[in-house]
Structure 1
Amino acid sequence: MQVIDWDLAVSTGVRLVRPGPQVSREEARHAVSELRRLSREAEGHVQEFARIDGAAEPEAATIVDRPGWIRANVDGFRVVLEPLTERMNARRSQIPAIVGAVGSRVTGVEVGAVLAFLATRVLGQYELFLPPDPSGRAPTGRLTLVAPNIVNTERELGVNPRDFRLWVCLHEETHRVQFTGVSWLREYVRSQMTEFLLASDLDLGTLLDRMRAASDAVADAIKGGEGNLIDAIQTPEQKEILDRLTAVMTLVEGHGDYVMDAVGPAVVPSVAEIRSRFQHRREGGSRFDKTLRRLLGIDLKMKQYAEGAAFVRKVVAEAGIDGFNRVWGSPATLPTHAEIREPERWISRVLHAPELPAANGHI
């Protein structure tokens, strides 16, 4: 039994996604070639500054268009949702076949529509969850850049294309270094996501309650409220897990923003102009765009960048980059949500306390 009709999600997303900016064949070839080259250049800059040892050997980024990003993310979602799919299959007899079949198709269309919206906005990402490679030779993660979105954004901002492309690569390369250099981090995020999914209430009555809550969230977001689907469909247990997940993702996103701006002045001459214009763009958009961002929790992600970067800046100012890197020692040294907002609490707990035992592996 499928939770989501993945083929339908892909076909819906690819059908609905808007085409990218108009570029000549030569411009497209140049953009792809330069992004691959700059992704390799960014690795050296990030490694030298971030001082996280043990990262995997770098590979040039995978460059995709908008439909390619949709397909890649569906592959990742299938891996992430596998534990929930297995549980649903174990409980197949409790769910009428027609409900399962119709539900998976409805959800497939919904996921496809969301991915079509996001596929026009995402510049790049480090894909944590890839389908397993039977040979065991493929990397467990992949740095992916969405070329048409990068070209479209640099045009909208009116910034130097080479500088902007390297700036984006610095952020995404930081994530590759984080998740391959900190040996336990990927598995920690995966286990928290699995725990979140398996904390779902799957009985029909509860699912109907969640659907009503989701409808209320949509109505609230349209009216300009703070409602979002993430909050609406959670159980109390899931809220606790999500707090931990949000804290670690706020850390890694903020660290990515901090590194891209800290490295920037030496290798991206126009970094101050890029940051200023990009920040203004993050905060803009039509009313429809803002409603969707709020509903999907994207505004929460924007807040993560700011709060996480402020945490990193404060700790680095207090203890230097090596002191900050104590954060990667083990899950016990990760900041909580409250500590991200008040870095002094993390500094007191971790930096001014006896050294906590590290997780297996090293940083």
Structure 2
Amino acid sequence: MEVVDWGLARSTARSFAPRGPGGTPEDARSAVAELRALARYAVDPVRERTGLDAGHAPGAIVVDRGAWVDSNVDGFRVVLAPLLERMATEQPGVVTTVGSRLTAVELGGVLAYLSGKVLGQYEAFTTSSTGRLLLVAPNIVAAERHLDVDTRDFRLWICLHEETHRVQFSAVPWLSQHLVGEIHDYLALSEIGVGDSLKRLMQGLGSIVAAVRGDAGASLVDAVQSEDQREVFDRITALMSLLEGHADHVMDEVGPEIVPSVAQIRERFEKRRGEPGAVDGLARRLLGLDAKMRQYTEGRSFVSHVVDAVGRDGFNRVWTSPETLPTRDEVLDPAAWCTRVVPDLLA
């Protein structure tokens, strides 16, 4: 018996996922077609701006909320595998039918809520050799209506951000496994007894719900983190700040050239990010990064500073190996990263 009834988690999330933003079938088909076209269009500007080539990696896939749920149930299985295997092996008595189903319902409820918020997501947590970039069409349509912005401009702006994530993981072959490995290391360092793991996991899921409802101090990390895990957590925080900041930097650098209303979109979108319940990706809330670090603004500031100081190619040394990634302190002090990694390029 598995610790989590994954089939029940999937069906629960699908059943309770919010309905779409409304519209005719023709409206839906038109939105999907335009998102596909804009995702393809975003490939060249992002490649030219980043200097990174994703090669023949799969392009973006436009999905509905149910397909996003399916992807993230599989992602949770990958991320939580070490913890759940440890529980099932060392203390099989803690795994019961009731517990397995209760955990599944909790997880399904969280995913159902998030399925109505996430605009796009790269599948970094996957058992396949290559992840996919997902664009969640009903959420993008709902967001553009809520923000009252130009439809095509907003969709292209989102595609630029998400395409940058696809390029990051596709052009840097070690990145995905490195991120998964860091999270597995984080779970492996848990000091709590395995008999308490299920309880902690349930508390963590409850913290996710609180976080997505707008509680700035709630996070899964705070619910389960031990002292020994903080060093690993800081590395994960720095990496996620880099990834999100880089994507924001690229979309804003490319935006003025091909997205006429980019200034209005950025202003309104930043306000949306601060609203209770606004969620841009599962990892943000899963890892509690909103409460720990203003990853978008700090990450974007880091990337902009480094690019200004040593150029795009100098910045791209960040993708050389895990050792060239910025530390959490270096994200806040980009000059220190430059001194450590690219001293030869400093004037």
Same fold (TM over 0.5): yes
Distance in 2, matches of 1:22 and 1:229, equals: 33
Q: Which digits, 9 at most, give the CA deviation of each residue in 1:227-283, with x for residues without a partner?
A: 433212112222221111111111011101110111101111111111001111111
Match of 1:361 in 2: none
Is the alpha carbon distance of 1:102 and 1:236 closer, same or farther for their aligned partners in structure 2, counting shifts above 3 Å?
farther
Distance in 2, matches of 1:86 and 1:213, equals: 19
Q: Which digits, 9 at most, give the CA deviation of each residue in 1:115-164, with x for residues without a partner?
A: 111111100011123343xxxxxx61101000000001111111111111
Instruction: Answer yes or no: is 1:56 the counterpart of 2:47.
Output: no
Match of 2:324 in 1: 333
Partner letter of residue 63 of structure 2? V
Residue of structure 1 aligned with 2:176, choices 186, 189, 195: 186
Distance in 2, matches of 1:100 and 1:265, equals: 56
Q: Give 1:87 deviation, angstroms.
A: 2.9
Q: Give 1:15 deviation, angstroms.
A: 1.7
Is the alpha carbon distance of 1:239 and 1:106 closer, same or farther for their aligned partners in structure 2, counting shifts above 3 Å?
farther
Identity %: 51
Contact 2:86 2:194 in 1 (8 A): no
Where do 1:16-27 residues align within 5 Å?
16-27=16-27
Q: Give 1:203 deviation, angstroms.
A: 2.5
Distance in 2, matches of 1:14 and 1:216, equals: 19
Distance in 2, matches of 1:65 and 1:122, equals: 11
Partner letter of residue 66 of structure 1? R
Distance in 1, matches of 2:140 and 2:172, equals: 28
Residue of structure 2 aligned with 1:122, choices 85, 98, 118: 118
Distance in 2, matches of 1:279 and 1:242, equals: 26
Distance in 2, matches of 1:223 and 1:162, equals: 29
Q: Give 1:104 deviation, angstroms.
A: 1.9
TM (norm. structure 1) is 0.85
Is the alpha carbon distance of 1:193 and 1:46 closer, same or farther for their aligned partners in structure 2, counting shifts above 3 Å?
same
Contact 1:40 1:58 in 2 (8 A): no
Match of 2:295 in 1: 304
Instruction: Answer yes or no: is 1:96 the counterpart of 2:89.
Output: no
Is the alpha carbon distance of 1:35 and 1:354 closer, same or farther for their aligned partners in structure 2, counting shifts above 3 Å?
closer
Match of 2:239 in 1: 248
Match of 1:11 in 2: 11
Match of 1:173 in 2: 163
Is the alpha carbon distance of 1:88 and 1:277 closer, same or farther for their aligned partners in structure 2, counting shifts above 3 Å?
same
Is the alpha carbon distance of 1:179 and 1:201 closer, same or farther for their aligned partners in structure 2, counting shifts above 3 Å?
same
Larger radius of gyration: 1
Structure 2 residue runs without a partner (length 5+): 279-283
Distance in 2, matches of 1:117 and 1:205, equals: 29
Where do 1:1-363 residues align within 5 Å?
1-53=1-53, 55-91=54-90, 94-96=91-93, 99-132=95-128, 140-201=130-191, 203=193, 206-207=196-197, 210=200, 226-285=217-276, 297=288, 299-300=290-291, 303-352=294-343
